[in-house]
Structure 1
Amino acid sequence: METIVIKCGGSILAQLSDSFFNSLKELKESGYRVVIVHGGGPEIGQTLTSLKIESEFVNGLRKTTKEVLDVVEMVLSGTVNKKVVIELEKAGIPAVGLSGCDAQLIKAKPADIEQLGFVGEVEKVNVSFLEFLLSQNFVPVISPIGIDEKYTKYNINADTAAASVATALKANHLLFVTDVDGIKKDGEVLPSLSTDSVLTLIEEGTIYGGMIPKVKAALTALNDGGINEIIVINGKGSLLAMDGTLKGTKIVKELEVV
């Protein structure tokens, strides 16, 4: 039975369509085990602004003070997590919402307290807990809040958390769900890329902005995690093409020579 870990970015969550959730149901009915890890950056930003709490980004990561962390946890583990769970349930998919604190699902360590505050790196994933939920036919929906051995909580980049979960589960596929159809060059979606091709596209500026941390997390998962393929895919419609295969741009270690 194959396992798919799906990372849904905060910018796409509000745009996920009925077709998206129906395609998840198709995948489940086809025998796939599904795990979702989500972000929530836009909603976090809006809530911080409404509460007049200042925050800044350092090297693409939100510097997380204790005050910011409380908001991050409230939004991710509360509002956003439950929205995703409810949409899955509406589509007839049994789901359970979790944060990395539940059953110490994501053990973390500080990335750089001085520069980033309570931003964490993943040390370990509680695989047996996830395996239990999957064996009961649930889709675990995970907000990327980690916890250390002293029960201090950390804000973890969702791309990194998804890659770590996929690696720990030895997942067959890791999907980065975005608001674009895949990685494009000259306006055309590239159906597949090798890791070397990805690095070249970053160097030449074809891959830029928010796509860079996604593909870098993908490369780490491919090189270190034993995952077969990473797919960058659009969540505004179905994940599946007419022939039942996954859409988007597939990233693999090496392209097969035909």
Structure 2
Amino acid sequence: MNFLVIKCGGSIFEQLPPSFYQDIMDLQIYGGYAPIIVHGGGPTISNLLSQLNIETTFHNGLRVTTDDVLDVVEMVLNGLVNKQVVRSFTAVGGKAVGISGTDGQLLKAEPIEQDSPLGFVGKVTGVETAMIQQLATQNQIPVISPLSADVYGQRYNINADMAAAAIAQALEARLCFVSDIPGIYTTEANQPSILSTVSQEQIEDLIASGEISGGMIPKVRAAMDGLSHHVPEVGIINGLESHSLPAFINGETIGTTITLDEEGTHAK
């Protein structure tokens, strides 16, 4: 089965037009792909935390997650954003099933590191691919929120980029990060430009220089990890650009394609 993992950032959901979901349906019906959606929800989580007067901070682009923060993350991702995405597919005639990484032990997790300042932030140690494959054979689109638990039932907040990369690895699927920006920027002579392709070496240089920062760091790290573990292709595209996803799938030059070895080039 030809799987396609699509990770949508939380900052873009309110802006995505129905045509974006229709494009995914067309890829499923006519393109022979089995789409899988992994979503974030960062801005909505931050807004609710603020309303509840719960402090939230970030460390290396990842949200520091206390037990109180985790309650809000779970409410927003599983109860609000997940079902919003499912409804969006229903509105264009699609069939989608909203689940979290906790359901059926879809995503197995452990702490991202011992004695981490991040609190209850986890990393994926295994993916229950049978559940995804079963849904795909029924022409259902899995919509996955990146929460998980360990063997003891302890909940963990998983960065959505990392969760998407882990699922793509397990299925050896193409991976596309959908955001509200058209790719990875760099600056030369005070002029910003988009890298049409970017290599692992360039990414490390851009992180060191500060041009890649914040939430983009776990995204590119997840991309490189996926590429080194049987993910055939990783791209970052702007979901607000008309038909950007089919363009990426069809090999057109759009957004940023991340590679392990090739020398990156600037988009014109």
TM-score of the aligned structures, taking structure 2 as reference length: 0.87
The aligned residue for residue 198 of structure 2 is: 193
Tell me how many residue pairs correspond in the alignment.
254
Instruction: Name the CA distance, whole Å, in 2 between partners of 1:205 and 1:38.
Output: 26
- Structure 1: give runs of 5+ residues left out of the alignment: none
> What CA distance in whole angstroms lies between the structure 1 residues aligned with 2:250 and 2:19?
13
1:20-48 per-position Cα deviation (integer Å, ceiling 9, x unaligned) = 11211221121111101111111111111
In structure 2, C-alpha distance between the alignment counterparts of 1:202 and 1:118, rounded to whole Å = 25
| 1:170 alignment partner AA | E
Alignment match, 2:139: 137
Aligned to 2:28: 28
Local SS of the residue matching 1:191? strand
Is the 1:113–1:119 Cα contact (8 Å) retained in structure 2? Answer: no
Other-structure match for 1:227: 231
Is this contact kept in 1: 2:62–2:215, CA < 8 A?
A: no
Evaluate the alpha carbon distance shift between residue 156 and residue 2 of structure 1 in structure 2; reply closer, same or farther with a 3 A threshold: same
* 2:246 partner SS: coil
**CA deviation profile, 1:81-139 (whole Å, cap 9, x unmatched):** 00011111112221000001111111111224552222111111111111111111111
Contact 1:228 1:252 in 2 (8 A): no
CA change 1:94–1:66 in 2 (3 A) is same
Correspondence for 1:123 among 84, 109, 125: 125
How far apart in 1 are the matches of 2:248 and 2:7? 23
Partners of 1:67 and 1:20 lie apart in 2 by 34
Aligned equivalents of 2:17, 2:101: Cα separation in 1: 26
Taking the aligned partners of 2:249 and 2:2, their CA distance within structure 1 comes to 18
Q: Is the 8 A contact 2:62 2:218 kept in 1?
A: no
SS in 1 for 2:93: coil
Q: Deviation per CA, 1:135-183, whole angstroms, max 9, x where unpaired? A: 1111101001111111111111111111111111111x11111111122
1:241 aligned onto 2:247: yes
> How far, CA to CA, are the matches of 1:235 and 1:33 in structure 2?
19
SS at match of 1:12: coil
* Aligned counterparts, 1:175-186, within 5 A: 175-185=176-186, 186=191
* Identical aligned residues as a percent: 48
**Structure 1 pair 19/245, CA: closer, same or farther in 2 (3 Å)?**
farther
Contact 2:200–2:260 (8 Å) recurs in 1? yes
**Residue 80 of structure 1 aligns with which residue?**
81
Rounded Cα–Cα distance in structure 1 between residues aligned with 2:249 and 2:28:
16
Map Cα deviations across residues 53-81 of structure 1 (whole Å, 9 max, x no partner). 22222332222222211111000001000
Could you tell me which residue of structure 2 aligns to residue 51 of structure 1? 52
Which residues of structure 2 form unaligned runs of 5+? 264-268
